[in-house]
Amino acid sequence: MMLKMNASCMMSDYVFKMPEHHTKHNESSQISALPESIYKLGCLEYLRLSGCSRISKLPESFGDLKCMVHLEMSGCTGISALPGSFGKLANLQHLELSNCSSLQEIPESLCGITQLQQLNLSSCDSLERLPDAIGNLADLQYLNMSKCRKIEKLPKSMMKLQNLLHLQLSQCGAVTEWLLLGGLSGLTALQHLDMSWIRIRCCRKLESLPDSIGTLGLESLHQEGVLDELMDQATSLVHYSRTLPVFKVLTDDVSGCRKLQLLEGAHHISELRILSLENARHLPNCSNLPVLGQLPHLESLVLSNFPSIKKIGWEFCGGNGAFSGLSSFDISFMEGLEWSTTYSAEDGVEEEFMFPVLDNLSIWSCPRLSLKPCPPTFRECEIWCSDQVLSSFKVVHKISHHTSSSRATKLELTEMDCQSMEVFHHFSTLRVLKITHSDKLTTLPESMRHLTSLWSLTLDRCKGISTMPDWLDDLPSLTTFVITGCHSIKSFAFMYTSIKAT
C-alpha cells in the first residue's frame, strides 16, 4: 500500500494504528482490511491498494477522505461493491478499478464526483451495470470499459460526456445496442475510440457503423477483430487524413488496399504519426502499394498475401530519406515478387538502401522473391521456405559499395535447400545461426567455415543430416551447439567440448 499526504497536514491529523507489515508496499497483498479510523487521514491525496486481493470491502468512513485525488485499486479481486460514501470524494480525479473481477456494481453516488477525469473499469468481469447518471461526470476524459462482458446496457446519459477524449469498449457486451441508439452522437470531443472484437456478443453482431462516427474528428479508431464490412464502412465515414491512425497503428488494420491508396493523395503525409502498419486481410486484387516511405515515424511494416503485386521499388519510397525510422519489415506469401532493395530518387545520385536502419527482417513463403541488386541490410533475419532470397547473397561481391550482410548477427533458416546455403562467407559478423526443417540438407555447408564470429549453432529437425564435418573444431567462437530431432546423426567426427545435444 502506498500513501501520499498533503504537506499542510500535521502528523497528528493522520496517525492511525495499523500493523507494521501492512504499511509495506511489497506486502500489500497481505492486507485483509482497512481500519475504520482511516477517516483520520483527512489530508490523504494518493492511495494505492493495487493487488490487495484479500480486502473484501472498504469502510463506510472511506468517503471522509475528501482530499483524495488519485485512487488505485486494480486487482482488488475481493471487493464486490463500493460504499455509498464514495460520492463524497469530491476532489477525486483518477480512479483505477481494473481487474476488480468481483465488482458487480458502481454506486450512483460516484456520479457526484464531478472532477473525475479518468475511470478505468477494464476486466471487471462481474460488473453488470453502470450508474444511470454517469453522464454527470462532466470532466471525464478517459473511460475504459474493455472486457466488461456482463454489462448488457449502457446508460443513455453517456451521450452527455462532452469532454470525453478516450473511450475503450473492446469486448464490452453492450456496445452493439448503444451504438445503434446513437450513443456516439454526443461525444463531440472524442479523439480515440476502441471497438475491437465487439462482435464477441453472441446475441447480436454489429453490422454497420452509425453515421455520427464520421463527424467526431477521431484521431484513432481501433477495430481489430470486427467484420470486414465495418472496416470498409469506416473508410467512407472517416476522412482519409485520419485513416491510417484508425487502422493498425501498432497492431490495428489498414482496412484493405483502398485504404492504403488514399495515402497517395495526402498533402501532409509526414505529419501522420504512424508507428506500425499491418494488413490484416488477404487482398488478391491489390496490384499497387501506396507511398509509405515518407512516414517518418513508421517503425514496423507487415505485408502479407498480395499475389497481384509484382514489384516493390522506388515508387514505394516517395523521395530521398525514405523509411528513415523503419526497424522491422515482415513479408509473406507474395510469390513472384521483385524487391528493389536500393533506390535513387534523382538521376545521377548514388543509390541508397530502401530500409537504411532495418534491424529485423522476416520473409515467409516467398519462394520466388528476388532481391535486386542485393539483399537489404539487417541485424536479425528469419527466412522460411524462400530459397531464392538467400541465393541473392551470391551477387553481393559484384556490388562493391553495398555491404548488405555486414551488420547481420542472427539468422534463422527454415525449409531451405542445401544449394541456397552456400553463402555464409558473406556473414562474417554472424553470431547466432538456427537451421530448422531443412530435410534436403545432408551435411553442413562448406561456406560455414567462414563464420568466425559464430558462437551459437542450432540444428532442429534436419532429418537428412547424418554426419558432422570435422572443421567445426576450427570455428574459434563457437560455444553452444544444439541438436534437436536430427535422428540420422549417429556419430560426430570432431571432438568439440561445448556441445549441448538434445
**Amino acid at position 306, single letter:** F
Backbone angles phi, psi at 5, to 5 degrees: -105, 155
* 384 touches 390 (CB < 8 A): no
Backbone angles phi, psi at 144, to 5 degrees: -115, 115
The DSSP secondary-structure symbol of 40 reads: G
Whole-angstrom distance, CA of residue 354 vs CA of residue 343: 6
Residue 400 binned pLDDT confidence (cut-offs 50, 70, 90): very low
Return the CATH class of domain 1-127.
Answer: alpha beta
Q: Which residue has the higher pLDDT, 57 or 346?
A: 57
Predicted local distance difference test score (pLDDT) of residue 351: 81
Neighbour count for residue 349 (Cβ, 10 Å): 10
Whole-angstrom distance, CA of residue 295 vs CA of residue 273: 7
Q: 178-234: per-residue pLDDT in tens? A: 665 567 778 888 888 887 776 534 334 455 666 666 667 666 666 666 666 666 565
Q: Residue 70: enclosing H or E segment and its boundaries?
A: strand 70-72
Residue 170 binned pLDDT confidence (cut-offs 50, 70, 90): confident
Burial of 96 (0-12, 13-18, 19+ CB in 10 A): buried
The residues near 98 (Cβ < 8 Å, ≥ 6 apart) are: 74, 75, 120, 121, 122, 123, 124, 144
The residue ranges of every structural domain in the chain are 1-127
Whole-angstrom distance, CA of residue 59 vs CA of residue 261: 58
Position 488 pLDDT exceeds 90: no
**Amino acid at position 202, single letter:** C
Predicted local distance difference test score (pLDDT) of residue 328: 93
Which of 93-102, 214-223, 239-248, 327-336 has the weakest average pLDDT? Answer: 239-248
Mean pLDDT of the chain: 77
Reduce the DSSP state of residue 166 to 3 states and report it: strand
Whole-angstrom distance, CA of residue 341 vs CA of residue 476: 33
Q: Where are the beta strands (DSSP E) in 348-498?
A: 352-353, 360-364, 370-372, 380-384, 410-414, 432-436, 456-460, 480-484
> Around 475, how many Cα atoms within 13 Å sit in the side-chain half-sphere?
32
Residue 263 binned pLDDT confidence (cut-offs 50, 70, 90): very low
Q: Which residue has the higher pLDDT, 86 or 400?
A: 86
Position 248 pLDDT exceeds 80: no
Which of 211-215, 322-326, 378-382, 418-422 has the weakest average pLDDT? Answer: 211-215
Residue 246 binned pLDDT confidence (cut-offs 50, 70, 90): very low
| C-alpha 337, offset from chain centre | 28
Predicted local distance difference test score (pLDDT) of residue 206: 53
Position 27 pLDDT exceeds 80: no
Q: 439-452: per-residue pLDDT in tens? A: 888 888 888 999 99
Q: CA of 299: how far to CAs of 264, 293, 480, in Å? A: 20, 11, 32
Position 272 pLDDT exceeds 90: no
